Structure 1
């Protein structure tokens, strides 16, 4: 970090520099907690007033926000400060943890498995028959790839990821620790024909197919389809502890926050944003470009581009009107009681 200055940051981001170009940048911080020498960012106009009281020396600022650097400080104006900060973080981040190159002595790799060039296999990994792993992919310790799995190039599988038989994963994917891909779907039927009732497990013959550049948070679970594939589209990002049920079709560039649960056969369109702890009933279809607020319960189909919130969730505008009406109820009841008392008194006097 000591080698970075406003000038080098501006060159990295191809931004417009205003202020002292030679300040030493020694750290990064949020605008409210920054110290002298820190680089921060201002992505929205609502944060601009905080620059005046912040101790940060340098800020990356979205173009169009009116700010002056002040004495002994600097601003770097860019098209999008949030994306620019991501580029800075990527440039200065230390190398992530990585097993020693090659195949660890404790790993179990089947003779028929095919590993691409420069694949790294950590301690106690298990790679089953017929598995194919693309070039430069990294398997951290205790990763399990069962029979006939396909895993693309430049992927990172963190410890204790399990990819079950016949599942397919694209290139440049990152799965955080504990992800389980391709477990049997939750499919059972009651059988009352025998001597005693029993619950019969429905076999799941499908798989899971995941596109390129998908990232899964820790402990994400995605169940295999009953007949066909459960699919996750290219570029989708799924947060920690999300459950995707069997036969689901999750589109491209979907972003889903933590602890959401998606029941079987749900379809979610491209570019939809899902808040945390959202519950989807089975066989629901969500259109493209939708926004679903955290904690919502989705029990019906959502058209393209709509914003929904609430439990059971409904159209956002309608839900807000209903909530505002509910807040007015105490006053309305008070007014109603007063009006009723006046009517009662009037009737008595008559």
Structure 2
């Protein structure tokens, strides 16, 4: 999420009542979670396991729960509860805004778009030329649908991210202030869901086709020309490169990369990075040629045991 203007380190620290380390005029231009940070962004970290990743990331301001040496050119904000203070900042700069109209504020819908009855479009959206939204579609805040996009009936694009912190009082949800970007000629089937980014964009590349009842988690980036069959489930923060095919009921864990041109056969479970251009099978999945050999060997086990 980019801020509406550049803020100083001191200004940001004052909003949440925390002390800071670094030049008080150090610039903060955005707020983002670790998977999508860039220079100028603020990121939070509240576990020592991720201190180095955050401090060495592209983020130039780190909201952290321990005083550490401040890297050159960066600023630190010291907080007892970084998760809570991060939520305070995102709610400050992009508060939840209830909506009663079917089209939100600051939303642009191209005159050529076909919007069926019972479609709901949130705030700060862009609906491009020739877009078709079938009945019951919900487009959440901050979404971009480029030219030629089609979304099937009762699908939800831009629901808030499934991102929670467990506390003694229960689960506390991170406030979502990102969106979804569907590039040109993307098709999404009926009853599918694509969650908004936590503070950035969940992105679906040009020409990708998504079947019915598919789920894609927050901040996932899908490349061009991909194909996903029904009941595929993709966790948050996954990178799927161009021309990947995921057949029915494939499941993908968070924070993995599926290389360009890979094919994953039905009901497989992806739990690690997959190389480009290969075919995969099984749960946990491996190269299909190896899995087929395993299956053939297993089929022979009863006979081998009888002979043994």
Q: Normalised by the shorter chain, which TM-score bucket?
A: 0.5 to 0.7
3-state SS of the aligned residue for 1:265? coil
Which of residues 185, 202, 205 in structure 1 aligns to 2:177? Answer: 205
Relative contact order, CA 8 A, sep 6+: which one is greater?
Answer: 2
1:132 to 108, 126, 134: 108
Query: For residues 286-297 of structure 1, what are the structure 2 equivalents within 5 Å?
Result: 286-297=258-269
Q: Normalized against structure 2, the TM-score is what?
A: 0.66
Using structure 1 for the length normalisation, give the TM-score.
0.58
Q: CA deviation at 1:152?
A: 0.5
Deviation at 1:132, TM superposition (A): 0.6
Q: Is the 8 A contact 2:131 2:145 kept in 1?
A: no
1:298 aligns with 2:270: yes
Residues 125, 198 of structure 1: alpha-carbon distance in 2 compared, 3 angstrom cutoff: closer
Q: What are structure 1's unaligned runs of at least 5 residues?
A: 1-123, 337-350
Post-superposition CA distance 1:67-97 (Å, at most 9, x none): xxxxxxxxxxxxxxxxxxxxxxxxxxxxxxx
Does the aligned pair in 2 maintain the 1:125–1:143 contact within 8 Å? Answer: no
Tell me which residue corresponds to 2:252: 280
Counterpart of 2:230?
A: 258
Secondary structure of 1:190's counterpart equals: strand
Corresponding residue of 1:182: 158
Instruction: Name the residue aligned to 2:204.
Output: 232
- Alignment correspondent of 2:221: 249
Q: How far does the alpha carbon of each residue in 1:118-163 deviate from its partner, in whole angstroms, 9 at most, with x for none?
A: xxxxxx9811111111231110001111111101001111001111
Counterpart of 2:283?
Answer: 311
Q: Which residue of 326, 338, 345 corresponds with 2:298? A: 326
Q: State the SS of the aligned residue for 1:127.
A: coil
Q: Secondary structure of the residue that 1:126 maps to in structure 2?
A: coil
Partner of 2:62: none
CA RMSD of aligned residues (A): 1.3
Match of 1:160 among 115, 131, 136: 136
**Which whole-Å CA distance do the structure 1 matches of 2:152 and 2:199 have between them?**
27
- What is the aligned residue count? 209
Deviation per CA, 1:262-310: give whole Å up to 9, x if none.
0111111100111001111111110000111011111111000010011
Cα distance in 2 for residues equivalent to 1:318 and 1:179: 37
Residue 172 in structure 1 maps to residue 144 in structure 2: no
CA–CA separation in structure 2 for the residues paired with 1:172 and 1:187: 31
Maintained 8 Å contact 1:125/1:142: no
Aligned mate of 2:122, from 146, 156, 173: 146
Q: 1:15 maps to what in 2?
A: none
Q: CA deviation at 1:198?
A: 2.0
Q: How does 1:31-50 map to 2 (within 5 A)?
A: none
Task: Give the match's secondary structure for 1:303.
Answer: coil
